[in-house]
């Protein structure tokens, strides 16, 4: 477990410290590298497109720097002003610098929310995150919704569903459960009815150890899909946005809740929620580092099967730890 990731996660609400002045509209956003997910979560505020006037937001990280530059150049030629939000790069490539790592999505998203004139939505999102932090923090040992959901996911394969207008949520949770929870989840994208009615017919046993998560509001199609899945998999769990929130605040809140769940799931499996070192090496290769020196192959010990019979690891107390830096991978 990474206690410093949990500390950063608890302190995340309201921690965006970048510019909050609205830029000229209309707006478009594209995301590459670590900015990809934030651009998707922003879809209710800013269209994922290139604009010919107003402000083009380009969200990126050094591992996708060339592609971010291409998008910025295209927007400039088209006549838009460009604001590049990045986790690193040369000074001329960055207008707003945000922290890198698994929590960068928050800073990317809040930067664009403020800069696109949606400061009220950004503040509403922070209020929801603050409420979730109070309920999901490590010191909350009973009725902690994130820890309870992590328990339900332990030893199972999550299937991720959301309404058509909330397709960023399965994307977000797949990324979170993989990067932080070290677990493979399967997003069911597009029309869910052909998938849920047919996917288990040839091998009924494939429904064992599967749990479906319905993320956000459930429309009529999802309600029908849930009815079908009840006879095919172990469990279906609805994960609504807190306090009945809608739009961007709801999306960012569900992303934040997903980070908590993923962190506790890693704890449940007895693994570290921090980024694995091979991720930093792979991103380094994409940033221009020497591929031969990257050592991207996993050691044999990393290929062992996970033991699931152990109980929750005991809490450590009175232990001093070095500060956790999202930008530095463990060596």
Percentage, residues of the chain above pLDDT 70: 86
Domains along the chain with CATH numbers: 148-269 (3.40.50.10490)
Instruction: Give pLDDT, residue 323.
Output: 42
The terminus-to-terminus CA distance of the chain in angstroms comes to 16
Helical axes 3-11 vs 247-269, angle rounded to 10°: 160
Average pLDDT over residues 299-311: 46
Evaluate if residue 73 carries a pLDDT over 70: yes
What local confidence, expressed as pLDDT, does residue 322 receive? 44
Mean pLDDT of 53-76: 97
Would you say 222 and 214 are in contact if contact means Cβ atoms under 8 Å apart? yes
- Which residues, in sequence order, are bridge partners of residue 86? 60, 97
Distance separating alpha carbons of residues 2 and 5, to the nearest angstrom? 5
pTM across the whole model: 0.88
pLDDT at 326 (0 to 100): 47
Q: Is the pLDDT of residue 300 over 90?
A: no
Q: Please state which of the ranges 23-27, 103-107, 277-281, 309-313 shows the lowest mean pLDDT.
A: 309-313
What is the model's pLDDT at position 264? 97
CA Rg value for the chain: 20
Look at 8 and 304; give whichever has higher pLDDT.
8
Q: Has residue 69 got a pLDDT over 50?
A: yes
Exposure letters 37-51 (e unless 16+ CB within 10 A, then b)? bbbbbbbbbbeeeeb
Q: How far apart are CA 285 and CA 152, in angstroms?
A: 37
Q: Specify the DSSP element, H or E, that contains 280.
A: helix 277-287
Query: Which residues on adjacent β-strands are paired with residue 239?
Result: 215
pLDDT in tens, 170-225: 999 999 999 999 999 999 999 999 999 999 999 888 889 999 999 999 999 999 99
The 10s digit of each residue's pLDDT in 12-31 is 999 999 999 999 999 999 99
Where residue 295 falls among pLDDT bands split at 50, 70, 90? low
Residue-averaged pLDDT of the chain:
90
Residue 102 pLDDT greater than 50, yes or no: yes
| Neighbouring-strand partners of residue 57 | 29, 83
pLDDT at 319 over 90: no
Separation in Å, CA 304 to CA 164, 277, 299, 300: 37, 17, 10, 7
């Amino acid at each position: 477990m990474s206690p410093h990731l949990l500390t950063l996660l608890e302190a995340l609400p309201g921690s965006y410290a970048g510019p909050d002045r609205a830029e000229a509209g209309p707006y478009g956003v594209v995301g590459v590298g670590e900015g990809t997910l934030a651009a998707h979560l922003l879809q209710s505020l800013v269209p994922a497109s290139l604009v010919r006037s107003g402000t083009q937001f380009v969200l990126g990280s050094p591992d996708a720097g060339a592609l971010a530059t291409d998008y910025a150049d295209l927007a400039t030629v088209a006549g838009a002003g460009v604001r590049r939000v990045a986790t690193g790069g040369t000074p001329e490539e960055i207008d707003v610098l945000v922290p890198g790592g698994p929590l960068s999505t928050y800073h990317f998203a809040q930067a664009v929310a403020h800069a696109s004139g949606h400061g009220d939505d950004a503040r509403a999102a922070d209020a929801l995150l603050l409420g979730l932090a109070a309920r999901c923090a490590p010191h909350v040992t009973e009725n902690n919704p994130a820890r309870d959901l992590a328990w339900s996911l332990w030893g199972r394969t999550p299937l991720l569903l959301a309404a058509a207008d909330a397709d960023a949520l399965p994307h977000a949770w797949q990324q979170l459960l993989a990067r932080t929870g070290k677990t493979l989840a399967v997003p069911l994208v597009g029309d869910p009815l052909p998938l849920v009615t047919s996917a288990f017919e040839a091998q009924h046993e494939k429904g064992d150890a599967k749990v479906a998560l319905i993320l956000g509001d459930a429309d009529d199609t999802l309600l029908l899909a849930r009815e079908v899945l009840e006879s095919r998999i172990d469990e279906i769990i609805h994960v609504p946005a807190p306090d009945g929130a809608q739009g961007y605040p709801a999306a960012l809140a569900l992303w934040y809740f997903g980070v908590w769940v993923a962190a506790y799931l890693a704890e449940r499996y007895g693994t570290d929620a921090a980024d694995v070192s091979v991720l930093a090496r792979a991103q380094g290769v994409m940033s221009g580092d020497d591929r031969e020196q990257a050592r991207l192959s996993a050691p044999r010990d990393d290929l062992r099967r996970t033991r699931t019979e152990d109980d929750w690891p005991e809490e450590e107390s009175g232990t001093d730890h070095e500060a956790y830096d999202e930008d530095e991978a463990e060596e």
